[in-house]
């Protein structure tokens, strides 16, 4: 018997949200799924095209109380994926990050309290832990939050509000802290789809500084299964790390992609480093594994799958990359 009947997925037209919608339709065919998405530059209805008749889609803003009221009415669980998600954009203009990531989460929490939603799952990030460079440890859920970019700070701020609603109002809340994620439908400003699509276009791959920054890359399907397990089995009031136990640096990412596409390594091009760049994130996912979660994809297999998808879906990413909102950011950011 399913725990939930009607589920609200915010940000469901984005990368991880749309992958989760597909995952949930498979895993929970009886769910009534409502998606609210503002369709910012990162939101794309093409990501939901094949399932559009199986969900209710609301174009709306989680930072707008009327839109939220409409979306939350009658649901028994909320999964909050909606966010401004790109660190580099947060360095250029932090304001929308505070509005969507903090104020938007607050409005969703308020609506959850009012409508007595059974469970609120907030999708957070390992970036809230800050930089682990110089240490060989892995972040634990009990570590203090030490965000260093406006993006990470906005995600940490949201987390504090989520926990406070658990404590102050008894709302059933859980948080996932996923590591850097990659896979199909990822907007090509993020490193992996940017490198893949640039390589497919025979363009250079911009590498920050010396390319030594390390991330614990997680394939999107594993991120989705982790969210699903925490939704169903996570202890109320707790956060859960999701990571692949695979640390990979920027140079290795570039070389893997160039290798899979038979492109020359001369396409790698050093560009000035990201200001305040965090050189290492790495989480310990043991707590989530205790719930029965196990990642299924390692980096090589996940990357082969992802590269194959971008090769087969040229139309999808060409449409995105040809838009002004993509090109403006790309040109201003890498040619400064
Ligand atoms: P994304 O940028 O691809 O998608 C975000 C979606 O949210 C878009 O569809 C966008 O239109 C929507 N959105 C933005 N502002 C909104 C608003 N005010 N109201 C309604 N919808 C709005 O991001 P993603 O990579 O899919 O990330 C999803 C979530 O996962 C985010 O909360 C992010 O912080 C978190 N996360 C991402 C990663 C990663 O590596 N991509 C890792 C860990 C956690």
Residue limits of CATH 3.90.25.10 in the chain: 184-215+246-277+297-327
90 lines ligand 1 (CB under 6 A): no
Question: How many other C-beta atoms can be found within 10 angstroms of the C-beta atom of residue 57?
Answer: 18
> Token pair for residue 301?
């297999």
Rg (C-alpha) for the chain, rounded Å, is 19
CA-242 nearest atom, ligand 1: 43
177 lines ligand 1 (CB under 6 A): no
Query: Between β-strands 181-182 and 119-125, what pairing exists: parallel, antiparallel or unpaired?
Result: unpaired
C-alpha to C-alpha distance for 51 and 305, rounded to whole angstroms: 21
C-alpha to C-alpha distance for 102 and 97, rounded to whole angstroms: 7
123 lines ligand 1 (CB under 6 A): yes
Nearest CA to ligand 1 atom 29: 81
Domain 184-215+246-277+297-327 sits in CATH at 3.90.25.10
What pLDDT, on a 0 to 100 scale, did the predictor assign at position 265? 97
Q: Which of 66, 82, 122 should be mutated for ligand 1, with most atoms under 8 A from CB?
A: 82
Residues 13-53 have pLDDT tens digits of 999 999 999 999 999 999 999 999 999 999 999 999 999 99
Residue limits of CATH 3.40.50.720 in the chain: 6-181+219-242
Confidence band, pLDDT 50/70/90 cuts, at residue 335: confident
What pLDDT, on a 0 to 100 scale, did the predictor assign at position 111? 98
C-alpha to C-alpha distance for 332 and 197, rounded to whole angstroms: 19
How far is C-alpha 188 from the geometric centre of its chain's CA atoms? 13
210 is catalytic: no
93 is catalytic: no
156 lines ligand 1 (CB under 6 A): no
269, 307, 321 from 201: Cα distances, Å:
15, 13, 11
Mean pLDDT, the chain, whole residue set: 97
Give domain 6-181+219-242's CATH superfamily.
Answer: NAD(P)-binding Rossmann-like Domain (3.40.50.720)
CB within 8 A of 167, min separation 6: which ones? Answer: 237
Q: Rounded to a whole number, what is the distance in angstroms from the first to the last CA of the chain?
A: 55
> Token pair for residue 279?
């050189």
Q: Which of 12, 34, 36, 42 should be mutated for ligand 1, with most atoms under 8 A from CB?
A: 42
Buried b (16+ CB within 10 A) or exposed e, 300-330: eebbebbbebbeeeeebbeebbeeeebeebb
CB within 8 A of 229, min separation 6: which ones? Answer: 288, 291, 292, 293
Question: How many other C-beta atoms can be found within 10 angstroms of the C-beta atom of residue 95?
Answer: 10
151 is catalytic: yes
Q: Is 216 within 8 Å of 182 (Cβ atoms)?
A: no
263 Cα: distance to centroid of ligand 1 (angstroms): 31
Phi, psi of 71, rounded to the nearest 5 degrees: -75, -35
Residues 51-104 have pLDDT tens digits of 999 999 999 999 999 999 999 999 999 999 999 999 999 999 999 999 999 999
Q: What is the mean pLDDT of residues 129-149?
A: 97
> Token pair for residue 126?
């390992």
Identify the helix (H) or strand (E) that includes residue 37: strand 32-37
What pLDDT, on a 0 to 100 scale, did the predictor assign at position 336? 65
Residues 259-312 have pLDDT tens digits of 999 999 999 999 999 999 999 999 999 999 999 999 999 999 999 999 999 999
């Amino acid at each position: 018997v399913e725990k939930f009947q009607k589920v609200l997925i915010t940000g469901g037209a984005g990368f991880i949200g749309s992958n989760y919608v597909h995952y949930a339709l498979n895993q929970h065919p009886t769910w009534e799924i409502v998606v609210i998405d503002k369709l910012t530059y990162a939101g794309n209805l093409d990501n939901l095209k094949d399932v559009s008749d199986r969900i209710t889609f609301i174009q709306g803003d989680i930072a707008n109380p009327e839109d939220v009221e409409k979306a939350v009415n009658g649901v028994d669980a909320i999964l909050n994926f909606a966010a401004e998600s790109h660190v580099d954009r947060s360095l250029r203009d932090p304001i929308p990050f505070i509005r969507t990531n903090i104020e938007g989460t607050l409005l969703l929490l308020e609506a959850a309290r009012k409508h007595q939603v059974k469970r609120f799952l907030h999708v957070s990030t390992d970036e809230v832990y800050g930089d682990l460079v110089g240490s060989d440890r892995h972040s634990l859920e009990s570590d203090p939050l030490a965000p260093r970019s406006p993006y990470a700070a906005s995600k940490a701020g949201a987390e504090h509000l989520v926990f406070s609603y658990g404590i102050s109002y008894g709302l059933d809340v859980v948080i996932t802290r996923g590591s850097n994620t990659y896979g199909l439908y990822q907007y090509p400003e993020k490193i992996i789809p940017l490198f893949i699509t640039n390589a497919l276009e025979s363009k250079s791959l911009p590498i920050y500084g010396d390319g030594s920054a390390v991330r614990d890359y997680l394939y999107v399907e594993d991120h989705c299964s982790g969210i699903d397990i925490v939704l169903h089995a996570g202890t109320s009031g707790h956060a859960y790390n999701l990571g692949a136990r695979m640390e990979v640096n920027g140079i290795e990412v570039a070389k893997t992609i160039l290798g899979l596409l038979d492109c020359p390594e001369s396409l790698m091009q050093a560009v000035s480093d990201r200001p305040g760049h965090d050189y290492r994130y790495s989480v310990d996912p043991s707590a989530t594994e205790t719930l029965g979660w196990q990642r299924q994809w390692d980096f090589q297999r996940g990357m082969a799958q992802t590269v194959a998808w971008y090769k087969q879906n040229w139309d999808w990413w060409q449409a995105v990359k040809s838009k002004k909102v993509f090109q403006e950011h790309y040109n201003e950011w890498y040619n400064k």
